[in-house]
Amino acid sequence: MQSHQQPLFVEDIYEAIRHAVQWLGGAKVVGHDLWPSLTPAKAAEKLNDCLNRDRAQKLDPEEIQQISRQAGLAGCHTIAHFQASNAGYAEPSWRAPKDENKEAQAQFVAAVKYIKSLEKKLGIPQ
């Protein structure tokens, strides 16, 4: 059974990313997400190489950001917490992604109310 518990301490960014990768289902899942043209096994091998500090191959910033974003959506905030702590920032707090449809509906309702108030001011029958 996979543990969904945030570690109290991670030694380095590699450990933080490895934890997020495990949270998201493992190197095959995340690697194939990053590099869909590779087989899951090859993608896992590439990801594991990138997360080995002794190997030359590393993740680029966009790939780290993609893993961090996906992990955050899944409830794992290890990467964000490590990066903030390591840079001297206060612990970050997660915010839910914007629901664009819900925002559009709220804007529509507000616009209709505004139009009705204008109609009333102008004496337009309703």
Banded pLDDT at 93 (limits 50, 70, 90):
confident
DSSP-derived secondary structure for 61-74: HHHHHHHHHHHHHT
Distance, CA of 83 to CA of 98 (rounded, Å) = 23
Amino acid at 82: F
9-67 per-position pLDDT tens digit:
789 999 999 999 999 999 999 999 999 999 999 999 999 999 999 999 999 999 999 99
83-92 per-position pLDDT tens digit:
999 999 998 8
Phi-psi region of 58 (alpha: psi -120 to 50; beta: other; left: phi over 0): beta
